[in-house]
Amino acid sequence: MLGRDRRFKRAHCHFNMTRSMDIKPQMIVNQIGLLAKKIAKILIYGFIALVLLYIAFKAWEYKAESDQLEAVKESQTQQSEKFASVSQYVATYSPLVVGSSSLTFVQRSGNEPLFKYLLGASYQNFISALENGASLIYVGSQILGSGCSKLGCAASQAAFVIDPSQGRIYAALIEGGKTSYFGLTEGQAVPPAFEKWATTPAVEGAK
């Protein structure tokens, strides 16, 4: 009887050990599974946070670009309005200076900023092409100023037209046989005074 009890106890003990060994791997697997779920959640939340951060950054970037474009547009509008105002003023008194030098007229302190805005990057080439300048003359109701480069009219020529009735000023530059106009709106016809200038041989050496 005692021997049978001992055998039973040994068998029971062996069973418990075996069961305990089976439970431990299962617990490890469960813990690994829980850890994997936690890591997956962290990664998902991290990904969502990155997406939201990216969206916020793009929204800020768009707003910054939009504000910058708006500021540039506002600045251009102000410059355009100032140009129109100065053009009106210059066109109003220009009949009083007919007969004076075209180059001198452009380089007057009150007129130079106007022509610089009108011509932009071409201003210096325009001045060079106007160095041997003719006198301001009337062409119909418009006033024409013109001139040639010191190297000769074949090198480059420049001209500008003032329309007192409209308060507008236009410019033209011939370089390498190509004529560029400044101040004309899209589809606007070339002022008649320019047509006379383009068809009339320039007088080299005129002042």
pTM, two decimals, is: 0.60
Q: How do residues 108-135 score in pLDDT, each as one tens digit?
A: 988 999 999 999 999 999 999 999 989 9
Q: Tens digits of per-residue pLDDT, 40-99?
A: 888 888 888 888 888 888 877 777 777 676 665 665 566 666 667 777 888 888 889 899
Number of helices (H) and strands (E) in the chain: give both, helices first.
5, 6
Where b means 16+ CB within 10 Å and e means fewer, 98-111 reads eeebbbbbbeeeeb
DSSP secondary structure letters along 119-182: HGGGHHHHHHTTSEE-B-EEETTEEEEEEEETTEEEEEEEEEEEETTTTEEEEEEEETTEEEEE
Structure confidence at residue 147 (pLDDT): 93
* CATH code linked to domain 93-199: 3.40.1420
Residues 130 and 103 sit within 8 Å (Cβ to Cβ): yes
Rounded Cα–Cα distance for residues 101 and 84 (Å): 23
